[in-house]
Amino acid sequence: MDYSLKKYYKQSATYKIFSGIFTYSAAIISTLGDISLNAVEVAKCILKGQIDRRELIEQCNRFGISSLPITLSIVGMTSVIVASQVALEMVKQGGGNFVGLLMTMLIVREVGVIMSGFAIISMIGSSLASEIATMRVTEQIDAIKVLKVNPIRYLFVPRVLSGLIMMPPVVAIAAAVGVIAGAITANLTSGLGYLAFFDSAWLGIYMKDLSVCMLKAATFGAVIALISCSCGYAAHGGAKGVGEATTKAVVWSFVAIVILDMFFAMVFFF
């Protein structure tokens, strides 16, 4: 009697909705907890100077060099799209002198870093997550532990550091390419001269913008690497588990950098 009642209760919509919400929030909280614990462990290792130089160089290569083509094209193309939409209209309305300013501000403050972030998540974040998830489900991480090596030190530290170190230069190059692409597009679509573009472009760049941009880049790089590694590290259950971990890493990284970007905007530009 009691049992059948329980069964009936479990089929009710209310139960399903609330248990669904509960399971979902519990999963989110546990993932957040995992990520924070890993972050603390990574910070500890870095403070103790436990950095594997060989691994770090290899990960920097991966993070910087291999992500460059896709990052540059995405930021460049975004800039082309924006410039082609606004340049002609602004010139027509007599605002030609501000096209450069608008484009650089947009790129330095937002487009450069957030688009690079998206590019790097899809390129590097997904590969970090699937790599570490594969190591997890094939017991390679257990093997590291049995050999008495700290997997966080060996796997996370070089990857997170490489994000921290390599993302600022990647964003800087991407932003430069974006501005140049914007100038060319403006010139082609509206006949705006390069001199007029770059004259106003300088007006749009403040030291503060540049430093916030680099700070954001370093933060995003480290956060993407940390989230991707953490999701991979928590994987379980074969090939399906690897796929799930990769998806989770990408989704969480996207959400995280958008939230962080909002946070930066509120702290630095209000």
Partner 1 sequence: MSIEVKNLVKTFGDKRVIDGVSFKVNNGETLAIVGFSGSGKSTILKLICGLTTPDSGEIITSEGDIAMVFQYSALFDSLNVADNIAFALHERKELRKKYTEKEIKNIVAEKLELVGLKGIENKFPSELSGGMQKRVSFARAIVTEPKTILYDEPTAGLDPISSTLIEDYIVRLKDETHAASVVVTHQMSTITRTANRVIMLYNGKVVFEGTPEEMLRQDNEYTKQFCMASLEGPMRMIAEN
Q: Which residues bind partner 1 (CB under 8 A)?
A: 52, 131, 135, 138-140, 142-149, 154
Measured from the CB of residue 131, what is the shortest distance to partner 1 in angstroms? 8
Measured from the CB of residue 118, what is the shortest distance to partner 1 in angstroms? 26
Question: What own/partner pairs with CB < 8 Å and gap ≥ 24 does 48-54 have?
Answer: 50/150, 50/153, 50/157, 51/157, 51/158, 51/161, 52/153, 52/154, 52/157, 52/158
Task: Pick the closer one to partner 1 by CB: 107 or 155.
Answer: 155
Task: Pick the closer one to partner 1 by CB: 97 or 140.
Answer: 140
Task: Pick the closer one to partner 1 by CB: 118 or 156.
Answer: 156
Compute the distance between CA of residue 23 and CA of residue 35 in angstroms, rounded to an integer.
18
Task: Pick the closer one to partner 1 by CB: 10 or 208.
Answer: 10
Compute the distance between CA of residue 254 and CA of residue 109 in angstroms, rounded to an integer.
18
Using alpha carbons, list the distances in angstroms from residue 244 to 15, 126, 232, 237, 240: 26, 11, 9, 10, 6
Task: Pick the closer one to partner 1 by CB: 154 or 198.
Answer: 154
Compute the distance between CA of residue 132 and CA of residue 69 in angstroms, rounded to an integer.
24
Measured from the CB of residue 154, what is the shortest distance to partner 1 in angstroms? 6
Measured from the CB of residue 27, what is the shortest distance to partner 1 in angstroms? 17
Measured from the CB of residue 146, what is the shortest distance to partner 1 in angstroms? 5
Compute the distance between CA of residue 27 and CA of residue 252 in angstroms, rounded to an integer.
12
Residue 247, class by beta-carbon neighbours within 10 Å (0-12 exposed, 13-18 middle, 19+ buried)? middle
